Structure 1
Amino acid sequence: MTDSPVLEGEVADLQIQSIIGFDGTILRGFRVHPNGIHVIYPLGNKVSITHWVTKQQFFLNGHTNTISAIDISLSGKYVASGQINHIGFKAKVILWDFYERTILSEHELHKVRVEAVAFSLNDRYLISLGGRDCGSVVVWDVQDRQPLCGNSASRGVQGDATVLCKTNRREACFLTGGDGTLIVWCIDRLGRNVRGVDVALSKLKRVITCMDLNERDEICYCGTTTGDVLKIRLNFHHDIDILEPTKKPMMVGCFAKISRKKLPEGVVDLYSQGVRSLLLMESGNIIIGAGDGTVDMVAEKKVNLREPHSIAYKLPSIPELLVLKTTNVKGGVTSLVFYNNDEIFVGTTNCELFSIDLKTFETKLLITCHTSTIYDVAFPYQFSDVFATASKDDIRIWSISTLQELLRICVPNFICSSVVFSHDGKSILSAWNDGVIRSFTPLTGRLIFAIMNAHNKGVSALATTHHGKTLISGGCEGQVRLWDITPYRQELMCTLKEHKGPVSAIHINLTDDEAASASTDGTCIIWDVIRQVRKQILFANTLFMCVRYFPTGVQIMTAGSDRKVAYWEVLDGSLVRELEGSPSGAINCLDISFDGALFVTGGNDQIVKLWKYQEGVTTHIGLGHSAVVTAVCFSPDGKYVISTSSSGSIFLWHVPLELQQNRENNKQEISSPKDTPADTAQSVAIGASDPQCETPKKEEHINNLETSRSSEKSIKKSPAVKCRCIKACRCAKKKIIKAC
C-alpha cells in the first residue's frame, strides 16, 4: 500500500475564487480593454483581468512585490506592468500576452520602482519610466523581446519624472513630465538611441501630475499640483514620418477655472489638492479630476482679443476654463478612462470606482473595498452567503455570490479590532479601540447598544455564547471581562485579571461552559465561564496571536510569533503536538473547519496554508497576498476560505472538492448547540443602554438580507452601499451609514 501524495510531501496550490479589492492609489491604474468587455487593474502583486458583465476574474502572476504601473496596448494584445521593490534591488517590468494569459518577456533595468509604463502606437515599443532611485527611461522592443535604448529622464536641476504619455500619431515619440521637467522624446531605432527636447516653460515652476494629447499631436494639456492646467504646443511637423519637432515645444498658457463666485481682483480659483487626472474628449472638452474628489467637464474659453484693461494676477494662471458640468467622488481622482463613449470610469484614492454618465454627470458607485488593514473577518452562524470584515473607520458586510458590499457601518476615526455575529443572526457585535463594545442591526446597521468604557485601553478581542446572554471581551490592558446581556441593560458580571499583556483572541467552546483567551504575554488561559475562574493556563515562549477550540472541545490550537502551531489538551493543559507553521514569519491567524478535518493558517510570510488536522500536514498553499495576512476564516458550509491582509484586500479561496467529500459524515459526529430560545433572541436584538441610540421597531435577521442571495431582482435593485435614512434619503452620493 502506497502513501498518499500529501504524506509524500506534495503540496498543491489553493485556487483563488475571487479577490475583493481595488488599488486606487496607482495613477492611471484602471484600464478598459479595447474590446470593451474586460477591465484590467492591479491587485497587490497580481494583475486582475475582469469580465465586466459576468464579473469573472482571472489573475496574472509573476510579480514579486506590489505593482505600481500598468498599461494595455491599443490592439489589446499586450499588457505591461511594473512593480515596486526594496531599496537596493531591481524592479521588474513584465510584458504579458492578454489572450494567452502568459508572460512574453520581462526585464529588470530599473531600480527600486517603476513609475509608469506605456505602449507606443502599433505596439512596437514598450516604454518604462523609473522612479527616484533610477531616474531613467527605458525603451523595450516588443517584437525582438530585448531592450532597445535608454536615457536619463531628467537633466540638470530638473526634478524627478513621474508621468509618461505616448503620442497618438507617431509610434517613436512620447512625453515625460514631473517636478519641473517636461520633455518630448524621439526614438532612433537605427541608432539605438532616444533623444529628448525640453519644453520651454519660461520661468514657470510646476510639478506635473498628468497629461493628455489631442488626436493630431498638436496640443498637450498637463495637470499640476498647483491646481491649474498647462497648455503646450508641441510643434510637430504635419508629416508624421518626421519625428522631431520643427520648433522647440513651448507653453501656450497656464489656465485656471473660471470661478462661479466673485473673487478679489488678481485671485484665481485653483483645483484643491491639485489636478490629479486629466482626459481629453473628442469634442475638445476636458475632463479634470482633482485631489479633493472634484470631477469637472471644462471647455477652454475662446478669446480673440485681450481686454484693454487686463488684470495682473498674483499667479501666472489665467481663468480660461469654463466649467460645464461638475460632480464629486469624495476622494482624490487617480484614474479617468472612457467606457462605451457615453460614460467614464473614475478611480479614487479611497479605493473606490465610480461611473459618470457624460450626459447627466450622475455618479454611480461600482467597486469599493477597504483602504487600510483588515483586522477581523466573520461569518454568521451556519449561514455562508455573507461575511463581515472589520477595519479602520468601518465594518462592511459582503455578499459571497456577487462580491458586492451590502452594508457599511462607520465609526469615524476608530479601529474595529474584532467583529462577530450573534448566533441568532439578529445583531453584529464589534470591538473598538476606543474601549467601546458596539452592537448593530444586520440589515440597516442601526446601533442597538454600546457598552461604554468596556476596557480602558481599547477592546482587542470579542466572543459571544450560543444562547446570546453572555458576552466575553478582552482588552489591551490584559483583562478578560464577562458581560450579562439583557434587553435594556448590559451589566458587567466579572473581571478576570490574569494576563499581563493585550488579549489577542478569545474563543468559546460549543457547550458555552469554557472559553480560551490568548495573550501576547506568552500565556493562554482556559476559563470556566460558569464559575468564572481559571481552569488551566498554558505557557510558551511566544506571543500568542490566535486560539481556537476543536469542535468537540477536547483540544485547543494556538499559534503565534514563534512560527509554531500547537495542539493542547483542554483537560490537563498538556502540549500534544507542535508543528512548524511557517519557516520565515509569525502566524497571525488560524481557523478550524466545522467538522474538524481541516484548519487554515496565515501569517507574516503572506501565505495562506491549508492543513489536515489529524495528520498535521499541509495540503494546499495559497499565494497572492501582497501584505501580511491578518485574518482567515472558513465558511460554515466548508466550501470557501476567506483571508484578509494589511493591504485591505479580501481573498476568497476555493476549498478543494476532495477535502470536502467526507464533510457530511464528520458533521454528524460533532454535537451542535440547541436552538436559541425566543426570549434570548429578543434580548440580543432589542435593547439600548444609551437613550440617544435608536431602538429598532422590529427584529432584523441576517438571513433576510435581500442581496445576500444571488438573484437578478436583488442585484439590479440593490445599491453598492445601503442607506440608513428612515424616511427621505439625506446621504451624499456616496452613501455611508453613520453610527454613534
Structure 2
Amino acid sequence: MAKCYDGPRLELDYVIGYSGIPNGLKVHPDRQHLIYSLGNTVIIENIETKKQQTLMGHSGDVSCLTVSNTGNYIASGQVIHMGFKADIIIWDYQKKELYARLQLHKVKIEGLVFSPNDTYLLSLGGQDDGSVVVWDVKTKDAICGSPAQLESAGITAAVAYHETDENCFFTCGDGTLRVWELDVKNRKIKPTDVNIGQMNRVCKCIQMKDNYLLCGTTTGDILGVNIGSKLLQFLGPGGPNIKTQKNFSCGVTALAHIKDNQMLIGSGEGEVALVSYHLNKKNNWVFKKERNWFDKNVSKEKVGVAAIALRGKGHQFFVGLTNSQIYRFNLSDSELEGNLIKTCHNSSVTDIAFPARTSELFVTSQLGQIRFWLMNGKEILRQEVANMTCTSVALTQDGRMVYSAWNDGKIRGYSFKRDKSGLHLDPKFTIHDAHSNGVTALACTSDGHCIISGGGEGQVRIWRVSDDYCTTQLEHNMMEHKGSVSAIRISKHDNMCVSSSFDGTTIIWNLERKNRSQIVFANTLFKCVVYNREENQIVTSGTDRKLVYWDVLDGSRIRVLDGSESGSINAMDITADGSVIATGGDDKILKLWNYDTGEVISVGLGHSGNIQRIKISPDNSHIVSVSADGAILVWKFPRDLI
C-alpha cells in the first residue's frame, strides 16, 4: 500500500454529501462560502458557483466545527475509538491547509469556538472526557483546562464565547449552565454556576446576544440568562404556563439571534421558526412565533434541525437538517420558504449505475430511495419505497426502464413519465417473492427484456419481461450458489453472465443453455466481479483482499494481486476498452489498476466510510464512488489514461 501513495493522485471533482452534525453548518465571514463536514472531511463550498475545496486530515468523523470571527481560521474536532485521543485541527483558511493539530481530549470533541479576536480556541470534550480546555491559537499550546461540570451534573453539550470579552465564555448541558472567567496570567479558568431555580433543564445549544445568554433545551423552551447578574431573566415561549404558546416539539436543537429581540429557532421536529420576544407593560416577557416552516419533502421520518447559519446580518440564512438536506431562506420574504440547495443520501449508498448511452447522469440507491443525479451534483428525480432498502439498480440501454432489487424480495420496474407535475417514475411491474431472502444483485440484457437476479438464498433467476414492460415471467432458476449472490455481470452479447457469491464461488453461466459453464473457488467471500474486454477472463475480489484473474474457459487462476492491506474489496469496475480497473473497499481508498501490468497507477483519497460501489462513466471522463456514510464522490478520470 505504501507504494500506492507515491504515485499520482486522482483529482476530486466534487462531493455530494453533508453529515448533518449539530451546529456543523457555517457561513464564512466573507458571506460567499458555506463550510460543513462530510465524514472526516471539511468542505468549503462557494454558495453561488458551487465550487468546492476539501480539507482532509482527520482520522475519524468530524464531530464539530467552527469558523473564527475574522475568517482566518476553521477549527474542526473529531470522534475516535475508545481509549484514543481525539484530534482538533485548526485550518488556515487562506492557504486551505493545516495550521495546527491539537491533542488532549479523549474519544470525542463535543464543541469548539474561537474567542472574539481569534486569540483563543475553546474546546469541549465529550462524555468520556468531560473537560473544557482553552488553547492559544498563536503558540498552538493549551493554556489551561478544567472539568466542564460538577460531578452531580450531567453531560456538558455546548459552548459559546462572549461577543467582545476575550476572557469570558459559557457552557451548558444536562443540569449545568456556567459562566467562565479566564485568567491567562495564572493559567486558570473559574466557573460560576447560573441559578435557574427549581427548574431542571437539559440545554443543547447556546448563544450570547447583547447582555443575554440564550439556551435551547430538550423540553422545547429557551432560557434567557442575564450575563451581568448571572440570573435567569426569562423562559419561553411557553415556560411554566403553556396556555398561551406551546414549547417547540422534540426540543430546541439550534438557534441564532438576529436583531431587535428576534431569533431563529430550529426544533427536533424539523420546524424553523422566527420568534420575537419583549417585555410587556406588566414587566413580563412575551414570546411571539411570527413565521415558521416545515420541510414538505419529509413524510413520516423524524427529521430535526441540526444547524442554523446566518449569512451576514441574517437577511439570508441556511438551515441544515439531520437527514442531510440544506435549505436557504430569505427573511425579507413574507413567509419562510426554504429553497433546497443541497440534498444527499443520509444512509449507506448500496449501488450506482450509469445509462449506457450518456455520462451526464447516474442513479444511486439506499434505504427506501432511488435517486437520479446530474453530473453537476444536482438531484433531478427520486423514487421512494418506505422502510425497504434498494440493494441494486439497472438501466436498460434504451433508457426506457429502471429495474430495482429490494430487500423485501421484490423486483420493481419503473418507466419514465412526464406530466403537469414534471418528470417522475411510473411503476410498471412488481415481481413479488422474486427471492426468499431478499434480492441482492440485479442486471439486465441489452434489449431490456431479460433480467438476471440473485438472492440471499443463493439462487440466480432469469426473468422475461414482456414487450410492453408490464408483465414478467420466470424463465429459469439456477441453484448452485449456497450463499448470498453479491454481484452479476452480463456479457456484451447477452449469451453469458457471471455471478459471485459469499459462499466462495463465482459461476459463469451460459444463458442460451441456461446452465453452468464454469465455476471457480476461493477461500473468500466474493463481493465483486468484472469481465475483461475480450470476455475470456474475469477478475474477482472480496474479503481476502486479492484481485484474482481467472480464465473463463477452464477456470484456472491466471494472476493474483494484493488489492488492499486492510479491509475487504467491495467494489470493482472496468473501462470499456478494458485497460483500467477501479477498485475500492473497507480501506476507503479508490485505486486504478493497469489491467495488463497489474500495477496501481492512481489513488483517490477522500472517503471516510467504506466504499460500497464504483462506476466509471461510459465516456471515461469521471469515476463515481459511493460509501457507507452516504457520500458520493465524483473523480476526474486521468487524462493520460483516456
Shared fold, TM over 0.5: yes
CA contact (8 A) 2:221 2:239 kept: no
CA distance in 1, matches of 2:232, 2:415: 58
TM-score by length of 1: 0.82
Q: Which residue of 1 aligns with 2:206?
A: 211
- Is the partner of 2:18 in helix, strand or coil? coil
Q: Note if 1:256 corresponds to 2:237.
A: yes
CA distance in 2, matches of 1:21, 1:268: 37
Measure how far apart 1:267 and its partner are.
9.1
CA distance in 2, matches of 1:304, 1:267: 17
CA distance in 2, matches of 1:108, 1:27: 22
CA distance in 2, matches of 1:383, 1:469: 20
Q: Which residue of 2 aligns with 1:135?
A: 130
Q: Which residue of 1 aligns with 2:387?
A: 413
Q: Which residue of 1 aligns with 2:406?
A: 432
CA distance in 2, matches of 1:212, 1:71: 13
In the TM superposition, 1:121-520 aligns within 5 A as 121-214=116-209, 216=210, 218-235=211-228, 247=229, 249-257=230-238, 269-305=246-282, 320-329=286-295, 330=298, 331-340=303-312, 341-359=314-332, 360=334, 361-400=336-375, 402-442=376-416, 443-486=423-466, 487=468, 488-520=470-502
Which amino acid in 1 is paired with 2:584? G
Structure number, greater radius of gyration:
1
CA distance in 2, matches of 1:266, 1:407: 43
Q: Note if 1:33 corresponds to 2:28.
A: yes
TM-score by length of 2: 0.94
- Is the partner of 2:117 in helix, strand or coil? helix
Which amino acid in 2 is paired with 1:437? I
CA contact (8 A) 2:238 2:244 kept: no
CA distance in 1, matches of 2:100, 2:490: 52
CA distance in 1, matches of 2:25, 2:602: 32
CA contact (8 A) 1:50 1:58 kept: yes
Measure how far apart 1:229 and its partner are.
1.1
CA distance in 1, matches of 2:441, 2:244: 54
Which amino acid in 2 is paired with 1:85? I
CA distance in 2, matches of 1:557, 1:624: 25
Which amino acid in 1 is paired with 2:382? R
- CA offsets per residue over residues 105-128 of structure 1, 9 Å max, x none? 111111000001100011110111
Q: Which residue of 1 aligns with 2:46?
A: 51
- Is the partner of 1:122 in helix, strand or coil? coil
- CA offsets per residue over residues 684-738 of structure 1, 9 Å max, x none? xxxxxxxxxxxxxxxxxxxxxxxxxxxxxxxxxxxxxxxxxxxxxxxxxxxxxxx
CA contact (8 A) 1:509 1:551 kept: no
Which amino acid in 2 is paired with 1:149? C
CA distance in 2, matches of 1:250, 1:86: 39
Which amino acid in 2 is paired with 1:405? E
- CA offsets per residue over residues 489-525 of structure 1, 9 Å max, x none? 2111011111111111100010100010111011111
- CA offsets per residue over residues 252-303 of structure 1, 9 Å max, x none? 23223499xxx9x969622111000111111211211100011111122533
- CA offsets per residue over residues 174-195 of structure 1, 9 Å max, x none? 1111111111111111111111
- Is the partner of 2:363 in helix, strand or coil? strand
CA distance in 2, matches of 1:351, 1:132: 25
**Regions of 4+ moved over 3 Å:** 6-10, 265-268
Which amino acid in 1 is paired with 2:178? I
Moved more, 134-143 or 320-329: 320-329
CA contact (8 A) 2:382 2:424 kept: no
Which amino acid in 2 is paired with 1:64? S
Residues 546, 270 of structure 1: CA spacing in aligned structure 2 closer, same or farther, 3 A cutoff?
A: same
CA distance in 2, matches of 1:212, 1:21: 27
CA distance in 1, matches of 2:213, 2:3: 63
Residues 176, 7 of structure 1: CA spacing in aligned structure 2 closer, same or farther, 3 A cutoff?
A: closer
Measure how far apart 1:428 and its partner are.
1.1
Measure how far apart 1:441 and its partner are.
2.4
Find 1:560's aligned residue among 534, 542, 547: 542
CA contact (8 A) 2:438 2:456 kept: yes
CA distance in 2, matches of 1:179, 1:8: 48
CA contact (8 A) 1:7 1:617 kept: no
Which amino acid in 1 is paired with 2:629? S
CA distance in 2, matches of 1:208, 1:189: 28
Moved more, 166-175 or 265-274: 265-274
Q: Which residue of 1 aligns with 2:420?
A: none
CA distance in 2, matches of 1:8, 1:526: 32
Find 2:9's aligned residue among 10, 13, 16: 13
- CA offsets per residue over residues 382-430 of structure 1, 9 Å max, x none? 3100011110010111111x21111111111000000111111111111
Residues 194, 380 of structure 1: CA spacing in aligned structure 2 closer, same or farther, 3 A cutoff?
A: same
CA contact (8 A) 2:476 2:514 kept: yes
CA distance in 1, matches of 2:170, 2:125: 14
CA distance in 2, matches of 1:22, 1:391: 15
CA distance in 2, matches of 1:9, 1:38: 31
CA distance in 2, matches of 1:564, 1:168: 56
- CA offsets per residue over residues 177-234 of structure 1, 9 Å max, x none? 11111111111111111111111112211110112221x3x11111100111111111
In the TM superposition, 1:519-598 aligns within 5 A as 519-598=501-580
CA distance in 1, matches of 2:290, 2:59: 44
CA distance in 2, matches of 1:253, 1:141: 35
Which amino acid in 1 is paired with 2:339? K
CA distance in 1, matches of 2:31, 2:289: 29
Find 2:609's aligned residue among 604, 627, 631: 627
CA distance in 2, matches of 1:363, 1:446: 28
Q: Note if 1:103 corresponds to 2:98.
A: yes
Measure how far apart 1:306 and its partner are.
7.4
Which amino acid in 2 is paired with 1:540? A
- CA offsets per residue over residues 543-593 of structure 1, 9 Å max, x none? 011111112211111111111111111111111111111111111111111
CA distance in 2, matches of 1:570, 1:468: 25
Which amino acid in 2 is paired with 1:461? A
Unaligned runs of 5+ in 2: 417-422
Measure how far apart 1:7 and its partner are.
10
CA distance in 1, matches of 2:317, 2:390: 34
Residues 160, 8 of structure 1: CA spacing in aligned structure 2 closer, same or farther, 3 A cutoff?
A: closer
Measure how far apart 1:342 and its partner are.
2.0
CA contact (8 A) 1:257 1:320 kept: no
Q: Note if 1:66 corresponds to 2:39.
A: no
Measure how far apart 1:11 and its partner are.
2.2
Residues 107, 167 of structure 1: CA spacing in aligned structure 2 closer, same or farther, 3 A cutoff?
A: same
Measure how far apart 1:32 and its partner are.
0.6
Q: Which residue of 1 aligns with 2:588?
A: 606
CA distance in 2, matches of 1:547, 1:60: 33
Unaligned runs of 5+ in 1: 1-5, 236-246, 308-318, 661-740
Structure scoring higher RCO (CA < 8 A, sep ≥ 6) equals 1
